[in-house]
Amino acid sequence: MINVLFAAGPENWADYQAPLRACFAREDLNVALSTSHAAAETDYIIYAPSGPLQDFSPYRNCKAVLSLWAGVERIVGNQSLTMPLCRMVDPGLTQGMVEWVSGHCLRYHLNIDGTLSRQSGAWDRYVPPLASERRVTVLGLGQLGQACATALARIGFDVTGWARSAKAIAGVRCLHGVDGLSDALRTAEILVLLLPDTPDTDTLINAQRLAQLPQGARILNPGRGTLIDDAALLAALDRDHIAHATLDVFRQEPLPPDHLYWAHPNVTVTPHIAAETRPETAARVIAENIRRSESGEPLLYLVDRALGY
C-alpha cells in the first residue's frame, strides 16, 4: 500500500479526490489517499502553499513532495524539506496561460480597450497593424513561456523570448544572458513576464529596465509580483512611458484595497487567475510521478533547489 497525504488544503480536497483516485487506479497503483496519514507512514505528499503543512521533518520516509503549483518560491527554501520536490507542469494550466496571454496580447494589439470606450457615435476608424508588425517579448521560456511564445508566433506576432540558458524555438527569436535582456526589452511593444520568483529575478523589471522599453510599451505580468519594482512601474505609467499594465500577480495577495494599482487608470488587475492547475489533468501528472518513483524511474519536473525553480 502506498500512502499519499493530500496536504494541499481542505478547499482543494473535493475537487482533487475523485480525479486522483481515478488516475491512481488507471496506473494500477495501490494507493491509500487521505488528508491525515501518520507522518512516518507517509510515502508521498501532495502540496500547495495554501495548505496547512509547512514542517516536513516528521515525514522521514516520504519519497517526494508533489506540488500542485508551478511556482515553488514558498516551499523551495524550506529547511525541513529534505526529500525531492516536484513542481506542477499541467497541460490544463499551460493551456490556461496560453489563453490568458494570447487574449491580453490581442487586446493590446487591437486596442480593444480604446475601441470599447469610443462608443460615442464618432466613425473613428482605428486600423491596427498586423500582428507581424507588433513586437512581443516573453521573459522566461520554460513550460509556460515557451508555450505562450509559440502560440503568439502562430498568431503572427513578431516574438522574442529570453531565458537564462540558450533556446531554439520555432518562430521565436531566442536570447539569453544580460546582453540578451537589453535587446529583448528594447524591442518589446508588449512585454510578457513568465519568470519564476527567485533571488535572481527579484525586481528584474526596475526603473532602468523599464526605461529600456519603447515609449508606450505594455506589460503583462502573469509570472510573479516580485519581478516588478512597483514604484518604478507606477512612475513609468504616470509619465506615459508605459502605456498600460495588466497584472495578475502581486507581492501581497490579495492585493490590498488601498494599493495604487487598483485606482490607476492604466492598470488592469486580475486576481491571480491567469492559469489555474486543473484537477483532471494535474491528477495524471501526480499519478505518473508516483508510478515512476515506485518503479525506480526518474521523477518528472524536479525542482533545482539551488536555482529556486
Q: Is 225 an interacting residue with respect to ligand NDP (CB under 6 A)?
A: no
> What would the x/- binding string for ligand NDP be over residues 243 to 262, using CB under 6 A?
-----xx-------------
Binding-site partner at residue 209 among ligand NDP, ligand OXD, none, CB < 5 to 8 Å by type: none
Say whether residue 227 binds ligand NDP (CB under 6 A). Answer: no
d(CA 173, CA 10) in angstroms, rounded, equals 43
Annotation marks residue 218 as catalytic: no
Applying CB under 6 A, the span of 26-34, 41-49, 157-165, 251-259 interacting with ligand NDP comes to 157-165
Distance CA 309, CA 303 (A): 5
> Judging by beta carbons within 10 Å of its beta carbon (0-12, 13-18, 19+), is residue 258 exposed, middle or buried?
exposed
Q: Is 141 a binder of ligand NDP (CB under 6 A)?
A: yes
Q: What number of residues does the chain have?
A: 309
Of the pair 12, 143, the CB lying nearest ligand NDP is at 143
Of 2-10, 66-74, 230-238, 261-269, the segment contacting ligand OXD by CB under 6 A is: 66-74
Name the one range near ligand NDP by CB under 6 A: 46-54, 122-130, 183-191, 196-204: 196-204
CB 167 within 8 A of CB 161: yes
Among 154, 272, 291, 292, the active-site one is 272
Q: Of these residues, 109, 173, 218, 224, which one is catalytic?
A: 224
Contact (Cβ atoms closer than 8 angstroms) between residue 194 and residue 168: no
- Which residue has 519581478 as its cell numbers? 227
∠ Cα 17 20 24 (to 5°): 135
Alpha-carbon dihedral 111, 116, 121, 126, rounded to 10 degrees: 10
Which of 66/88 has CB closer to ligand OXD? 88
Whether residue 259 lies in the annotated active site: no
Among 12, 94, 150, 277, binds ligand OXD (CB under 6 A): 277
- Is residue 191 within 8 Å of residue 209, measured between CB atoms? no
Residue positions annotated with a catalytic role = 224, 272
